[in-house]
Structure formats: C-alpha cells, structure tokens
Amino acid sequence: MDDELHARLKAYEGRPAAVAGVGRDPVNAPMIRHWCEAMGDRNPAYTGPDAIAPPTMLQAWIMGGLGGHGRRAHAYNDLLSLLDEVGCTSIVATDCEQEYARALRPGDEVAFDTVIESVSPRKTTKLGTGYFVTTRTDVRVGETVVGTHRFRVLKYAPSGRGPEPRRAGGSEEKRDGKAAEARDGKASRARPRPVVNRDNAGFWEGVRRGRLLVQRCTACDTLRFPWLPGCNACGSEQWDTVRATGDGTVFSYVVMHHPSFPAFDPPYAVVLVELAEGVRMVSNVVDVPYDKVRIGMPVELEFRTYGGGGEAGEGGEELVLPVFRPRAAEAAP
C-alpha cells in the first residue's frame, strides 16, 4: 500500500524523544511501598534498610505524571502531533522490554535519554489503523546506565466500530477463539450491507420480494450466479431471470473459527449450496449446528431477517438475506 505519510514518519527515527530527562523524585521508599501494595508484592527485598526498588518500576521513576513531560524533545512531540493530525489520536502501549543492569535503591537520582527507534508502516489492528512507535530509553544514575527501557505504542485512529461495553454481569465465557470478538462487544452487530449496483440490483430486488432470482442468458440459455453483466458461456449481454425453486444441496462448506467478524458468532458454517437449477451460491445454513453441516445435505431456501443495529448500534435498517435450512423431510433425526 502506498503510504507517503510513512516516509515522513520514518524521518523521525533516530531522533531524540527526551534529552537528559530527570526523574521527578529520587528513588524513594514511599513510592516503592505504594507500588508493592498495588501489585500485592510482598517480596522482602523491597523493604527494610537494604531495600531495592522493584526492577519493574523502572519506567515509574521517569513518568511525567500529572505535571507532564517537561523535558520531552521537540521531535517526539512533532511526531505525535503529526499522527494526531492524520486522525491517529488514540494511543495504547503494546510492548515493554526492560533490562536491568543494576538495582535502584532509595536515594538514587535517575536521569534518562530517549530516542525514537522506529516507526512502523501503517498497520490495521482490531483497535484501528495506525502506526507503532518504538522508543528506547537509557536510564542512568550519574554516568552509569542502570537500565534500558524499550517501549512500543500504537498511535491509531479508532475504528468506527469501537468496542461496546461488556454485558452486565461481566464474566465472559472463556472459550478459545472468542477473545477478539468478546473484546469487540460483538454479536449484536449488524450484518455487512450488500453492495447493490447496476449489475446485481435485480437480484436484491428479487430478495426484497421474497424471490431468489438466477440470471439466464437469452442467447444460449445458460444459467449463471452470482449476477454478472455477461454470459460466461457465450459472452452475450442479453439475459432474463429464472426464479429458483429454493431446493438445493450443500456442495461444500467451511467452518469459520477465526478471524471473528463483528456480525458473526464463530464457529459457524459458510456453505456453498448447489441449487436444483444447477448454479451454486454462498450462504449460511441455519437451524443446524455448524458441526452437523455435511456435503450433500438437502437444504431449502428461507428468507431471514437480520435486525437493525448498524455501525453505531442503532438506526440500522433490517436486512433480508436468502439462507438455507435443512430440508424438512431430512430434518428429523
């Protein structure tokens, strides 16, 4: 993908994000104690006269806090501003890599230098599209480097379909592969809308009237589906339609476990149904568990209405889609 912006962002690589920053407070026992209380960490190494600070506190000593980052260098602010301008207004930390050369002890005065190590190409994530910015900070006491801290953030434009609040009651079922969708609040999302254009408008008009229409070439009588401007067999652009009886069989199928999409609740079967007329169409089989779908299963057409919802969770129009259910005679066990 052409990404002219990335070239501008890459120019910041190697430039300083903070120069000769100084920790707001010397390493001190009260902050260590608050940290240990929050973490539930009762390691005796962090208390008493010979106490060290928990090594994982490294970044805490250099945080700007409510007072902000007084020593942040222009380059870093410029980089963040540039990302803000292009809509990447949100930020989330994704990676933290710390190495500890020696323990910090109360009284140590911490200084630090941070460099912008890399800016990724544009990435699309579940949260949205943006750029990963990696910085590397050397933390010093005097001239001695006591630790290094590599930090990666995603600076991104939140995707329109932002996560929804968790259902009341909270505890989500723990199932493999459910993570992403649970994070997205999912299941209540509207189905993707069909793209209706000149070539397929007749099909969707048929659906609206409860008819599954298949195109037929008027030159050579070949049926075709999905809808296309011309005949695959003879090239003719002349056609009319045939109303399908709605009977078919499962020609093939796949079961989707991953990735999850907002409107769908995996695992689910996506089926290729061969209609009695001979053409095949991709659809869903409803009223049957995904793992009971079989090749050759006789199915029949049903028009099912999928409720509103829409991107913002309201105001979306209902959508009618042709789906298939096991043919009545075969449905009994």
Question: Among candidates 243, 228, 239, 232, which has minimal Cα distance to 301?
Answer: 243
Q: Does 109 bind another protein (CB under 8 A)?
A: no
Give me 5's structure tokens: 């912006």
Q: How far is the CB of 289 from another protein (least distance, A)?
A: 24
CB of 300 closer than 8 Å to CB of 212:
no
Residue among 20, 78, 81, 93 that touches another protein (CB under 8 A): 93
Give the list of residues 6+ apart from residue 271 with CB closer than 8 angstroms, or none: 250, 251, 252, 253, 282, 283, 284, 285, 293, 299, 324
Cβ nearer to another protein, comparing 58 with 285: 58
Q: Does 96 bind another protein (CB under 8 A)?
A: yes
Residues β-bridged to residue 254: 270
Give the list of residues 6+ apart from residue 194 with CB closer than 8 angstroms, or none: 200, 204, 319
Residues 140-179 that bind another protein (CB under 8 A): 158-159, 162-166, 170-174, 178-179
Cβ nearer to another protein, comparing 67 with 333: 67
Single out the segment in contact with another protein by CB under 8 A; choices: 87-95, 111-119, 240-248, 319-327.
Answer: 87-95
**What is the DSSP code (8-state) at residue 25?**
S
**Start-to-end C-alpha separation, the chain:** 52
Residues 34-73 that bind another protein (CB under 8 A): 34-35, 37-41, 43-45, 54-57, 59-60, 63-66
CB of 139 closer than 8 Å to CB of 146:
yes
Q: How far is the CB of 165 from another protein (least distance, A)?
A: 4
Residue among 104, 119, 127, 279 that touches another protein (CB under 8 A): 127
Residues 184-213 that bind another protein (CB under 8 A): 185
Residue among 5, 29, 82, 182 that touches another protein (CB under 8 A): 182
Alpha-carbon distance 26 to 122, whole Å? 39
User: Quick one: the chain helix, strand, coil %, rounded to 5?
Assistant: 20, 35, 45
Single out the segment in contact with another protein by CB under 8 A; choices: 99-107, 199-207, 274-282, 316-324.
Answer: 99-107
Residues in contact with another protein, counted by CB under 8 A, come to a total of 53
Q: How far is the CB of 258 from another protein (least distance, A)?
A: 11
Q: How far is the CB of 180 from another protein (least distance, A)?
A: 7
Alpha-carbon distance 318 to 185, whole Å? 20
Alpha helices in the chain (DSSP H): 4-10, 29-39, 74-85, 179-183, 201-208, 328-331
Q: How far is the CB of 158 from another protein (least distance, A)?
A: 4
Q: How far is the CB of 230 from another protein (least distance, A)?
A: 44
Give the binding site for another protein (CB under 8 A): 24, 31, 34-35, 37-41, 43-45, 54-57, 59-60, 63-66, 90, 92-100, 103, 127-128, 158-159, 162-166, 170-174, 178-180, 182-183, 185
